[in-house]
Amino acid sequence: QQQVKQSPQSLIVQKGGISIINCAYENTAFDYFPWYQQFPGKGPALLIAIRPDVSEKKEGRFTISFNKSAKQFSLHIMDSQPGDSATYFCAARAGSGNTGKLIFGQGTTLQVKP
């Protein structure tokens, strides 16, 4: 119930292509869904986030699609660039806003080939 399942584990995309990473959850009490980007040797950094009352959120080349009934959400990276090569984590907040406890997916290593 406290899990977030992320797929694929790794992804290779050509420059200019679309990268899609999927996550699924079971706990309907999760109320906030961020995506974090992590480069080697660095800490994760918040990329984009969404609340369950919104079906889509777009920031530049990054879009989150959220399907509340299916309990799934995904990250789309349009026009993928070599600089996007990193590990991406989806997460869900457990605690209804009273805490910042985040449950993370296992991560997806993205490689964008020039």
Residues of this chain that bind other proteins (CB under 8 A): 32, 34, 36, 41-46, 49, 89, 93, 95, 97-107
Cβ of residue 1: shortest distance to other proteins, in angstroms? 14
Q: Which residue lies nearer to other proteins by CB, 46 or 78?
A: 46
Q: Which residues make Cβ contacts (< 8 Å) with residue 76, sequence separation at least 6?
A: 18, 19, 20, 62, 63, 64, 65
Give the C-alpha distances (Å, rounded to integers) separating 53 from 7, 16, 58, 87, 100.
Answer: 23, 31, 15, 27, 19
- Alpha-carbon gap, residue 33 to 52, rounded angstroms: 8
Nearer to other proteins, 19 or 36 (CB): 36
CB of 74 to other proteins, least distance (A): 18
Cβ atoms of residues 25 and 3 within 8 Å: yes
- Which of residues 14 and 96 has its CB atom nearest to other proteins in the complex? 96
From the CB of 95, what's the least distance to other proteins, in Å? 6
- Closest CB to other proteins among residues 3, 17: 3
